[in-house]
Amino acid sequence: MKRAFTTIIRIILPTIVLLTACSVESNSQEVVDEFISQFDEMNLDEAKEFLKKEYENYQQLDDLLDGGSFFGNETPKEYAKEDESYSEFPTFAKPEDIEKEYKKFSANAYILQYYKYPKTTIKVRVDNIDEVSGNADYQANKIFFHDGSVDDKIQKFYSWGDLNTTKVIDSIQTTISYSYIEDYKQYEFTDEVNFDGGSIKVAKKQGNMAELIFTGKAKNYEKIITLNDEGKVLKLSLSSSGTKGVKETSKVYAEALKKLVNEANNFKTVDELKEAARKTYSKLPPINNEKSYTGFFRGNVSSFIVYMPTNTISKQIDFTLVNINPNIQKLIYAFDTNKKENCFLNQAGELVMYSTYKNLYQKNDLYYYTKTQNNEEEKPVYEIYFLDTDKEQLVKIPEIQSVRAVTNTCVSVEKDGKKALWNAERKAVTPYIYDRIEGIEGSEDIIRVFIDDECGLINTKGETVLPVTYDQISDYTNGRALVSVSVGRGERPVMFIDEAGEQAIPLTQYLRATEFSEGLAVVTDKNRKCGFIDVNGKIVLPLIYDRAEPFLHGITVAEYNKKCGLINRKGEFIVPAKAHNYGISGISGMYKRKYYLDRSIYNEYGEIIEEW
């Protein structure tokens, strides 16, 4: 719930945030113009719908604020000294580490496209790297579409946000502008602190609760910590920050918007609506620009330390964001954000038709289903539909009741307990002989199939690629999938296959192998020594290690002569092999990787960050 107030204002009420920039008695011309400009690319119906949404947003906030505290049942209380909980004093990211983060981020980022109308939504993603530090903004300089066209009109966007297009995107030439704080100055205070350009005042302090008011430059604080009477940092329980007077101001804005919504049917053009909105918003009061912070802590509050930035660095990186899974079907399932209905777009991004079924759900690009259930006790009834892109219609498939997506265009269909593959032409291309059919990450053409406990591969035509005689076939990484068979209690690697399912690297001389990571895989020979091979099977790092893990961020942990350290891609020990044991956290990429070597902890760059 940290900073819940700010989050709610930014997400639910973008207009309020816009108007907080103004601190005069009524809203400035510049601020009002910026709000009115949101209508520029709308038709009259869209503009009316936008006004209605704005009014609903203010109502939501009003209901939320009337519903009680952001803190639930939390009320101020006194802590016994032995019950207090403490944290460490904060540390801040080094500028050089932030630079490294952004360089790796821009080199590995891609986009996912979510199809909506009249604007598309994109999400910037990156695998095995955390969110980058600091504040960042994105700018689309050129958008390259799948139909070969290009849009070179500059658009600003967020890591999850809308672009003014509905077409299938191939890639975006992007500039990321980011800033980070190089230096801080800390201010410790009990009741109030004043400095050049701002002030912080304690409005309320009772037991474990404190409320602070920030004015001027103080609103740009980076971090606040709360101390007990011994100078120990108290752990935070809940906090919220936002702008004072939101509740009162939201009521005024809601009433003004309600009046506009009621008059909307009288407007004959968008310009008439814009002029009415301009007059209304020009008369509305600005929002109080004082910022408030309220926190509950796990101990009794005595004093505070606020960290204020003294030097902010701004930089830019130009790079390309690729859409890793563009929808290249003739018709694309989308959502009309104005009418709140599902629809289908063509490759030009034009709206072709709306779904005729209210509760239509998507399995993949071509197969859909509806679900009917009158009550919880009744068994749901499913009906399967195929999207005929040539005739531009949904066709019911009465002979099947359920499907499971395998690729973007193929599904697994069950009959009498066995499964078959149906293709993009609404045809079964295999007999009903498989116990399981599933896609392989990294391929749209190769499919895993299982009979009993054995595994094989087929393609989307139903043709056998590998017979069902293996025990495990991995997903693709770096264009290679690992094929293994069971031997005793373990598995022995057979080969790596390429994206066509052909043998790329025989592995009969090895006891074990890992999947590829950053172009290298760990292999273990019959002498139980480990080394690394590339995607062509060439030994890159010799088989001299007792143990080794896959690379991430260009380093990994390895054991040599029964001692553990960190190596780079050249096999050089950047952290000497002296530890008796090792461990790794964050191996999935959800968290930054840490290496534990005896009683020392190293970060993803091989730098020591803690000893215990």
Boundary (domain end) residue, out of 370, 401, 432: 401
The answer to whether residue 354 is domain-embedded is: yes
Q: What is the pLDDT of residues 300-347, one digit of tens each?
A: 999 999 999 888 889 999 999 999 889 888 999 999 988 889 999 998
Residues in the chain, total: 612
Mean pLDDT value across residues 102-129: 88
Which residues lie below 8 Å from residue 590, measured CB to CB, with a gap of 6+? none
Share of the chain above pLDDT 70, in %: 87
Q: Which of 358, 380, 401 is the last residue of a domain?
A: 401
Which tokens is 42 given? 């709308």
Return the pLDDT at 284: 73
Provide the pLDDT for residue 587.
Answer: 55
Does 157 have pLDDT greater than 70?
yes
- Reported as a single tens digit per residue, the pLDDT across 377-415 is 788 889 999 999 999 999 999 999 889 999 999 999 999
Last residue of a domain, one of 364, 384, 401: 401
Instruction: Answer yes or no: is 237 within a domain.
Output: no
Specify the pTM. Answer: 0.70
Helix H or strand E encompassing 213:
strand 209-216
Is residue 380 domain-resident? yes
Residues 241-287 have pLDDT tens digits of 766 556 667 677 778 878 888 888 888 888 888 888 888 877 776 65
Q: What is the mean pLDDT of residues 225-252?
A: 81
Classify residue 157: in a domain, yes or no.
Answer: no
Q: Give the number of domains in the chain.
A: 2
Tell me what pLDDT residue 71 has: 64
pLDDT at 64: 52
Identify the pLDDT of residue 14: 41
195 belongs to a structural domain: no
Query: Could you tell me if residue 143 is inside a domain?
Result: no
Contact 559, 577 (CB under 8 A): yes
Domain of 382, in residue numbers: 328-401
> For residue range 478-492, what is the model confidence (pLDDT) as tens digits?
999 999 998 877 789
Residue 17: pLDDT band with limits 50, 70, 90: very low
Q: Is residue 565 part of a domain?
A: yes
Contact, 163 vs 314, CB < 8 A?
no
Residue 429 · residue 413 · CB < 8 Å: no
**Is pLDDT of 592 > 80?**
no
CA dist., res. 213 & res. 477, Å (int): 52
Whether 468 has a pLDDT exceeding 70, the answer reads yes
- pLDDT exceeds 70 at position 10: no
Residue type at position 36: I
Residue 367 has a pLDDT of 96
Q: Calculate mean pLDDT across residues 87-107.
A: 86
Cis peptide before 118 (omega within 30 of 0): yes
Give the residue-averaged pLDDT of 523-527. Answer: 96
Is 342 among the domain residues?
yes
